[in-house]
């Protein structure tokens, strides 16, 4: 983003995801965050084709593109869903609040597994305009999250008798 600093002040790239010939780059700076959509079909000459400012209240920390949607970790309590089916015309279609501050998350089919500061929320998003929490796993401070088949893996802390326990690997089975 050679001109981003001139146009928006100091900027920081905080996350990126790739789908086909596009890179979806989350950029934060003096100006509200934006998504830079780059055509990377020629890796030697990537070019910005669109900058999109979703207008969410909080700066997101991560972006994951799955199918025609980009899922943005809303930074405080939200996951925002942006339709990126047309790279030149992205638009916000939905949002959902989680009980705690969202951290890592993973998407599998119509489900978003969100590790937040209180638990792992299971969000059903078959209708991206109306995502809804359908379950959760009680674990605090989930640090990373992955899904393989019907199993969800996370590293996080639990509490026993009011005392924080050291981080451990937790494995959960989820079958919708």
What domain range includes position 77? 4-173
Identify the CATH number of the domain in which residue 146 sits.
2.130.10.10
The model's pLDDT over 75-111, given as tens digits with 9 standing for 90+, comes to 666 788 999 999 999 999 998 877 766 677 888 889 9
- Domains of the chain: total: 1
Please give the structure tokens belonging to residue 109. 């089919």
Q: What is the pLDDT of residue 5?
A: 45
- The number of angstroms, rounded, from the C-alpha of 176 to the middle of its chain's C-alpha atoms is 21
Question: What is the average pLDDT across 124-150?
Answer: 85
Q: What is the mean pLDDT of residues 142-169?
A: 81
Euclidean distance between the first and the last CA atom of the chain, given in angstroms as a whole number: 42
Residue 54 binned pLDDT confidence (cut-offs 50, 70, 90):
confident
pTM as predicted: 0.81
Q: What is the DSSP string of the chain?
A: -TTHHHHHSSEEEEEEEEETTEEEEEEEESSPPEEEEEE-SSTTS-EEEEEE----SS--SEEEEETTEEEEE-SSSEEEEEE-SSTTS-EEEEEEE-SS-EEEEEEETTEEEEEESSEEEEEE-SSTTS-EEEEEEE-EEEEEEEEETTEEEEEEE-EETTEEPPPEEEEEE---
């Amino acid at each position: 983003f050679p001109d981003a600093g001139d146009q928006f002040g100091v900027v920081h790239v905080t996350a990126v995801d790739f789908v086909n010939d596009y890179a979806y780059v989350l950029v934060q700076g003096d100006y509200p965050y934006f998504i830079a959509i780059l055509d990377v079909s020629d890796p030697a000459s990537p070019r910005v084709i669109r900058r999109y400012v979703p207008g969410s209240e909080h700066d997101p920390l991560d972006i994951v593109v799955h199918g025609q949607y980009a899922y943005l970790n809303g930074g405080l309590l939200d996951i925002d869903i942006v339709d990126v089916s047309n790279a030149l015309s992205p638009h916000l279609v939905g949002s959902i609040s989680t009980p705690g501050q969202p951290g890592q998350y993973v998407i599998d089919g119509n489900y978003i597994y969100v590790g937040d500061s209180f638990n792992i929320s299971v969000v059903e998003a078959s209708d991206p305009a109306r995502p809804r929490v359908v379950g959760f796993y009680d674990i605090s401070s989930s640090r990373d999250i992955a899904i393989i088949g019907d199993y969800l893996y996370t590293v996080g802390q639990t509490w026993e008798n009011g005392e924080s326990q050291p981080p451990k690997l937790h494995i959960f089975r989820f079958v919708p």
